[in-house]
Each structure stands twice: as C-alpha cells, then as structure tokens.
C-alpha cells in the first residue's frame, strides 16, 4: 500500500510538471483542443511543407510562418513542396468541410510532424496562429534566443469562428498614426484571429485619407496644432501657432495597407464620418456648411467645441456638420466615395452618422426650405434624408452602407447595416427590421475607456474593466442571430497620443473581445481566461509590447460611514491577490496592514495608498488616492 501511494505521488508530480510546462493557453479559446502525449520539437531542419497551392495563398501563409519562426530561433526554415522528415504541413482540404467553413482549421501536433488542414488559406493562417501560441513564449522574442528547445505539446485542435465579423476600430483621426503603426496593429489583430479593421479616417481633428479630386481635405484638413495634456480641455489655438501636427495616408499608402491587411486575412472597413464630426472637411471646404461664418473654422486641436446638455443631445459651439440641404455636399460625397470605393475592396463603407449636433440646423433657412420641400417633419427626418442619399451614393459605387446606430433615427435607409454602439438597443431595433447588425456597445467594447480605477489610470470619462469586456455577448436575447454579423471593439484616440499607449489601451481587453467573437459561447470562462491572459502578458513582455496591468490593481469603492468619514471597500478583479495599504503617506508593502474588511478612513488622513501582492511578490502598481477623492466618491461634503 505504502509503495502504491508513493508511486501514485510520483505519477501525480510528473503529470503536474508536464501539465505546467506544456499546457496550451490559446486566445481565443478554440472550439476543441485535446492535449495528447508527447511533443513536437522544432528543429533547424524542420520543413514547412505545402501540399497544394493553386493561387499562391498557401505559399504566403507558409512563408509567413517561416519568417515568424526564423526570427527568434535563428533558424533558416524553408517552404518545400515535399519532405520526409520533421515537418509542419499546410494542406487545403480536397473536399469542403462544412463544419470548418472558410476560416476554420484542424491542427494536429504529434512527435515528428505538425499538420494544419483547412478549406481555405484563411483557415491555414488561423491554424498557424494557434500553432505559434503553442510554442514557448520566447517565440515572441524580437531577437534570436540561444539554445532553446522549441517544443510544442502534442494536441489535436478543431477550430472555427463563431462570427464572420471580428472587428477592431482604430481611430487614426483624433491622433494620426503612421502606416508602420497601422501595420503593427494589423500584426497583432491577426494573432488573435480578428479579421476586420475599421479605420476611422475622418473627424473634427483630421482628415486622414488623400482624395485626389479634393486636395484641400489633406492640405488643410489633416493638420492642427500640437497640444499636450487632456484632450477637450486644451486652450484655444493662437493665430500664430503652427498647424503642423497630424498627417494623412496617400492613396499609395492606403493600397499598401490594404494589401498588408489582405496578407493577414483582414478586411479594412473605411469610415468617412458624416454629417457630424466633419470640422476638418469644413475647414477645407467651408461651402459644405449651412452656417454663415464657417469660412473662419479651423481643424479642431482638442479645444472644447461641443457640449452635452442635460437632455443628452449634442450641442455644437460651432457647426461641424455637412449641410443636408446643400446639393454641393452630395457632389462632394460622390467624389469622396468614388475614390474610397476604388481603394478599399471590402464590400462595406462606413458613413459614421453619429453624434450630429443639430442646433445650427434648427436655425438654418436652407434646412427649413428642405423640410418644406421634402415634407420632413423634424430633424430626425432631415438626418434620415441625408443618410438615404448617402446610401444611394455608396451603392452607386458598388458598396453597401453601414453606419453608427443614429442612422436609425427618422427611418433607416433601405439596405443599411447598423453598428450598435449606444448599448445594444440600436442593434436590436435594426435586427427586428431585418437589417444586418454589428454589435460594438460602449458597455462592453469601448477600449478608450479606463480599465481600472481612476486613481491610477489616465483619465477618461468612463470605465470598462477586463472582466466586463469579457462578458461581451454579441447576440442579444430575443434577436434572430442571423442578422448579427458579429462584433467589434472600438479604440477612439482622443486621449491616445502614441502607439505605446494605444497598445496599453488595447490589451488585454482586445483578448476578451477576440474570444467573444471567435470562441463558442459555452467555452467562455473567466477563471480559465485569466491565466491565458497572463501567458500572453509574458509573451508581450518578450515582444516588448505594452499592455495594461490593471487587473492586478485594487478596485476601490467608498461609501459614507457612520462617522461621516469614507468607508473604503477594496476588491480585485482576479483571485489570489493580497492588498496592503497605508494612510500615513508612506508607501505600503507586504509588512503593512493587509486588507481584510471595509476600513473607515482615519479622521485626519490625507492620502490612502495601496499595493497588491501575489504569493508574497508585488504584482500591482502603487495606487495613491487622496482622501478628498474618497470623500467625493462617498458623497461626503
Ligand atoms: C461613437 O462612439 N460616437 C460612435
């Protein structure tokens, strides 16, 4: 008996060691993943083999894999048509496998060989991404890693996406990002099996795409005054301040980006945001406005020019809208969409349509005349008139129209798809009208929001934690799922001044959204997701990519206590963390009081500080919060 127990103990330890070193941690979680015995060893003579390739795409996927692997391993792996030894084989199925569809794949990793099989090259590409995630973390290293055993646990994976639209929106207008940065964004999207890049190309702060027939859009509209601080609170630009901050993509740049995206199996959805958010266009071509004095307008540099009155509608301090009553606007849009349609092969064009401030329309004689002529009862109908005309223009270029959910107001254009952002109601309404819908609600998918406590995060007006983002479910109850094309997360860049911070805002929440749009609903599991996120953190460290460590920081809640002092409740988004705190202005560590229950703030305390540990090691950031802030959160005057 004793012998038996000892043996069992060693078997247990052995299995545990095996499990620890080899457990697959894939994001997004595959449909089916079975871990098998053994492992594949990637060697300097491993062949990357392609069995058939009619159009060159399989070869492209194989080359992508070879060049990815060669960088950190220092190997010189080559793509071959036949091999006999250790190999990674990419194969297109001879008979279409319905279950896998166009983007699914089967991946088998065994001792001596790896096979990825799919119906289409896209599936092979996603199989390759899963294979890469199975390799040791060092595969993400930017430089050659010496003497590493590049082992991959033996597995069988069957995988395919839940949705065909798996999007990320990148706002390149509020702050301009370079072509190289857009490509880096695409690289990372592809790793997590996103297939749709929505480029928000125009807004009040900049027009970012060359339109050859309208050169002032970029000679004037792409430039503003560089400001540093908190967007929307900047001082007004002075007349002599240089307008040299910004930039735009030439049409060659766009073609290059589109091609790069295609090589990563990503479509690009271009957004031209009209009739609101159009100050950059109006600064270039003031005749597009209904409002006298628009010829004095300039591209916004982050100074305040809009207010949200209590009723919730936008109120412009200046008129940033294209005039729906002005025929020149439709001529302008025809030119824009002609060139945009020719540049982007994707079937949809996004017309924005959100947050249109209509207070200038209320006063405009041209709008009043339009309403009489077209029998439009209110400004919703004026807006809808505009959207319907835009839909006709977009369709005349052979494209379909999609817009933010405000395009429902006053009546949806006949064929338009709706991107639901103000929660899910717009999406529900559009699906009930049998229109296509993409879900991207602020409540789950707005990656510009803070991801932790305002005491430590760069300030934004709302918060979206990782665990909330992980709850994203694109198909609302009671809605016919066939109208929901999928979902996407949106990264607005008002407060994002550089690419490092952009990465911080994207990750890890974009992992959560990726899993929500790829993985089967029943496979989503927060406790299983967190360690997989942490594995990605290790890989990001090696790749020198930034991410937000906000899940390690405390969640701080303050309420008014019995002595009119704040009572602070601390919790954490993930399990297993200890929180240590101070009220004496010094920096707490694990020798300070450990949080166990709500604490009343000492009467004269000025600052509370806290830090988290895991297994005795510091893991969170030092968080400092003024007692005045705690009082204000608790409603104490
Ligand atoms: C939006 O966030 N205004 C679509």
Q: Convert the pLDDT of each residue in 394-444 to its tens digit.
A: 999 999 999 999 999 999 999 999 999 999 999 999 999 999 999 999 999
The best mutation among 199, 404, 489 to test binding of ligand 1, ranked by most ligand atoms within 8 Å of the C-beta, falls on 404
Q: Which atom of ligand 1 is nearest to 442's Cα?
A: 2
How far away, in angstroms, is 355 Cα from ligand 1 center? Answer: 7
The C-alpha angle 621, 622, 625, rounded to 5 degrees, equals 125
The predicted structure's pLDDT at residue 84: 79
Which tokens sit at 603? Answer: 């009467």
Mean pLDDT to the nearest integer, 521-547: 98
Cα–Cα distances (Å) from 544 to 74, 446, 503, 529, 621, in that order, read 18, 24, 11, 22, 19
Whether 314 has a pLDDT exceeding 90, the answer reads no
- Residue 469 Cα to ligand 1 midpoint, Å, equals 17
Contact 433, 416 (CB under 8 A): no
The residue to mutate among 418, 426, 492, 493, having the most atoms of ligand 1 within 8 angstroms of its beta carbon, is: 492
Collapsed DSSP state (helix, strand, coil) of residue 46: coil
Look at residue 16 in the predicted model and tell me its pLDDT.
Answer: 44
Per residue in 108-140, pLDDT tens?
999 999 999 999 999 999 999 999 999 999 999
CA distance 426 to 435: 11
- Which pLDDT value is given to residue 52? 67
Q: Can you give 417-474 as a three-state secondary structure string?
A: EEEECCCCHHHHHHHHCCCCEEECCHHHHECCCECCCCCCCCCCCCECCHHHHHCCCC
Q: Is 355 in the pocket of ligand 1 (CB under 6 A)?
A: yes
Ligand 1 pocket check for 354: Cβ under 6 Å? yes
Cβ–ligand 1 contact at 406 (below 6 Å): no
Q: Confidence band (pLDDT; 50, 70, 90) for 308?
A: confident
Q: Average pLDDT of the chain?
A: 95
| Residue in this structure with the two tokens 């360690």, named with its chain if needed | 531
Give the chain's end-to-end CA distance (angstroms, integer).
Answer: 70
**396 C-alpha to center of ligand 1: Å?**
26
CA 442 to ligand 1 centroid distance, Å: 8
| Band of residue 13 on the pLDDT scale cut at 50, 70, 90 | very low
Nearest C-alpha to atom 3 of ligand 1 is from which residue?
Answer: 354
pLDDT digits (tens, 9 = 90+) for 536-576: 999 999 999 999 999 999 999 999 999 999 999 999 999 99
What is the spatial distance between Cα 43 and Cα 235, in angstroms, rounded to a whole number? 59
Test site for ligand 1: of 355, 403, 443, 461, most ligand atoms within 8 A of the Cβ? 355
Residue 310 has pLDDT above 80, yes or no: no
- What is the rounded CA–CA span in Å between residue 39 and residue 155? 8
Mean pLDDT calculated for residue range 58-79: 96
| Mean pLDDT confidence for 438-460 | 97
pLDDT band for position 14 (cuts 50, 70, 90): very low
Q: Specify whether the CB–CB gap between 46 and 111 falls below 8 A.
A: no
Q: Please state, in angstroms and as integers, the Cα–Cα distance from residue 68 to each residue in 78, 134, 152, 535, 602, following that order.
A: 12, 14, 15, 19, 56
Check whether 7 has a pLDDT greater than 70: no
Residues in the chain: 637
Overall pTM > 0.85 = yes
pLDDT at 398: 98
Q: Which of 191-205, 225-239, 335-349 has the lowest mean pLDDT?
A: 225-239
Do 359 and 316 contact (CB within 8 A), yes or no?
Answer: yes
Tokens of 189: 């999207």
Closest approach atom of ligand 1 to CA 277: 3
Q: For residue 352, which atom of ligand 1 is closest to its CA? A: 4
Q: What is the pLDDT of residues 570-586, one digit of tens each?
A: 999 999 999 999 999 99
pLDDT in tens, 214-260: 999 999 999 999 999 998 899 999 999 999 999 999 999 999 999 99
Burial of 423 (C-beta count, 10 Å sphere; 0-12/13-18/19+): middle
Ligand 1: centre distance to CA 113 (Å): 48
Residue 56: what pLDDT? 83
Ligand 1 centre from 354 Cα, in Å?
Answer: 6
CA nearest ligand 1 atom 2, residue: 421
Categorize the per-residue pLDDT at 11 as very low, low, confident or very high, splitting at 50, 70 and 90.
Answer: very low
CB 405 less than 6 A from any atom of ligand 1: no
Q: Determine the Cα–Cα distance for residues 301 and 226; give it in Å rounded to an integer.
A: 7
Q: Which of the four pLDDT bands, split at 50, 70 and 90, describes residue 22?
A: low
| Confidence band of 23 (pLDDT split at 50, 70, 90) | confident
> With bands split at pLDDT 50, 70 and 90, how would you rate the model's confidence at 71?
very high
The answer to whether the CB of 421 is under 6 A from ligand 1 is: yes
pLDDT in tens, 76-116: 999 998 877 899 999 999 999 999 999 999 999 999 999 99
In the chain, the domains with their CATH numbers are 23-159 (3.30.379.10), 165-543 (3.20.20.80), 553-634 (2.60.40.10)
- In ligand 1, which atom is closest to the CA atom of 404? 4
Is 404 a pocket residue for ligand 1 (Cβ < 6 Å)? yes
Q: Which atom of ligand 1 is nearest to the CA of 421?
A: 4
Cα 304 to Cα 426: distance, rounded to the nearest angstrom: 28
Q: What is the rounded CA–CA span in Å between residue 192 and residue 255? A: 24
pLDDT at 18 over 50: no
Closest residue CA from atom 1 of ligand 1: 354
- Spacing, Cα 332 to ligand 1 middle (Å): 23
- Residues with catalytic function: 203, 277, 355
Does pLDDT of 326 surpass 90? yes
Would you place residue 21 in the very low, low, confident or very high pLDDT band (cuts 50, 70, 90)?
very low
Percent of the chain having pLDDT more than 90? 91
Pairwise CA distance, residues 436 & 403, whole Å:
11
């Amino acid at each position: 008996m004793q012998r038996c127990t000892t043996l069992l103990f060693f078997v247990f330890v052995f299995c545990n060691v095996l499990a620890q070193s080899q457990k697959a941690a894939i994001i997004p979680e595959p449909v089916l993943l079975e871990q098998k015995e053994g492992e594949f060893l990637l060697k300097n003579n491993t062949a990357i083999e392609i069995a058939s390739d009619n159009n060159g795409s399989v070869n492209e996927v194989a080359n992508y894999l070879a060049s990815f692997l060669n960088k950190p391993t220092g190997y010189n792996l080559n793509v071959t048509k036949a091999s006999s030894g250790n190999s990674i084989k990419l194969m297109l199925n001879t008979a279409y496998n319905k279950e896998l569809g166009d983007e699914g794949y089967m991946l088998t990793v065994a001792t001596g060989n790896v096979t990825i099989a799919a119906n289409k090259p896209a599936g092979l590409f996603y199989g390759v991404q899963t294979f890469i995630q199975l390799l040791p973390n060092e595969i993400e290293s930017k430089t050659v890693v010496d003497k590493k055993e590049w082992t991959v646990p033996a597995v069988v994976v069957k995988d395919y996406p839940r949705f065909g639209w798996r999007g990320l929106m990148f706002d390149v207008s509020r702050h301009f990002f370079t072509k190289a940065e857009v490509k880096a964004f695409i690289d990372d999207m592809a790793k997590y099996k996103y297939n749709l890049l929505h480029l928000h190309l125009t807004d009040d702060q900049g027009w970012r795409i060359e339109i050859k027939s309208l050169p002032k859009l970029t000679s004037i509209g792409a430039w503003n005054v560089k400001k540093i601080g908190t967007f929307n609170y900047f001082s007004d630009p002075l007349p002599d301040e240089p307008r040299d901050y910004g930039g735009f993509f030439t049409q060659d740049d766009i073609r290059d980006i589109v091609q790069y995206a295609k090589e990563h199996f990503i479509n690009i959805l271009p957004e031209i945001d009209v009739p609101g958010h159009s100050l950059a266009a109006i600064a270039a071509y003031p005749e597009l406005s209904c409002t006298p004095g628009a010829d004095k307008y300039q591209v916004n540099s982050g100074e305040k020019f809009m207010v949200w009155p209590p009723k919730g509608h936008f109120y412009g301090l200046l008129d940033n809208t294209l005039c729906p009553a002005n025929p020149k606007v439709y001529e302008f849009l025809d030119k824009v969409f002609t060139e945009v349609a020719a540049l982007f092969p994707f079937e949809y064009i996004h017309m924005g349509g959100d947050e249109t401030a209509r207070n200038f329309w209320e006063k405009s004689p041209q709008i009043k005349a339009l309403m009489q002529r077209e029998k439009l009862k209110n400004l919703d109908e004026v807006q809808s008139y505009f959207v319907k005309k835009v839909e006709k223009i977009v369709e005349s270029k052979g494209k379909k129209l999609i817009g933010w959910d405000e395009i429902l107001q006053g009546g949806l254009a006949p064929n338009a798809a709706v991107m639901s952002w103000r929660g899910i109601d717009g999406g529900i309404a559009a699906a009930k009208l049998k229109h296509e819908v993409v879900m991207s609600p602020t409540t789950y998918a707005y990656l510009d929001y803070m991801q932790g406590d305002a005491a430590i995060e760069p300030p934004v007006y709302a918060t979206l934690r990782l665990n909330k983002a992980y709850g994203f479910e694109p198909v609302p109850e009671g809605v016919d799922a066939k109208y929901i094309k999928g979902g996407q997360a949106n990264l607005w860049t008002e407060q994002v001044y550089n690419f490092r911070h952009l990465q911080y805002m994207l990750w890890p929440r974009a992992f959560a959204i990726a899993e929500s749009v790829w993985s089967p609903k029943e496979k989503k599991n927060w406790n299983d997701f967190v360690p997989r996120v942490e594995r990605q953190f290790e890989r990001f460290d090696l790749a020198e990519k930034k991410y937000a460590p906000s899940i390690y920081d405390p969640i701080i809640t303050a309420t008014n206590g019995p002595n009119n002092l704040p009572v602070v409740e601390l919790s954490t988004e993930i399990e297993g963390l200890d929180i240590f705190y101070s009220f004496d202005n010094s920096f707490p560590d694990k020798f300070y009081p450990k949080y166990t229950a709500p604490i009343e703030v000492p009467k004269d305390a000025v600052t509370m500080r806290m830090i988290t540990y895991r297994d005795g090691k510091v893991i969170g950031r030092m968080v400092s919060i003024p007692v005045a802030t705690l009082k204000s959160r608790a409603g104490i005057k």
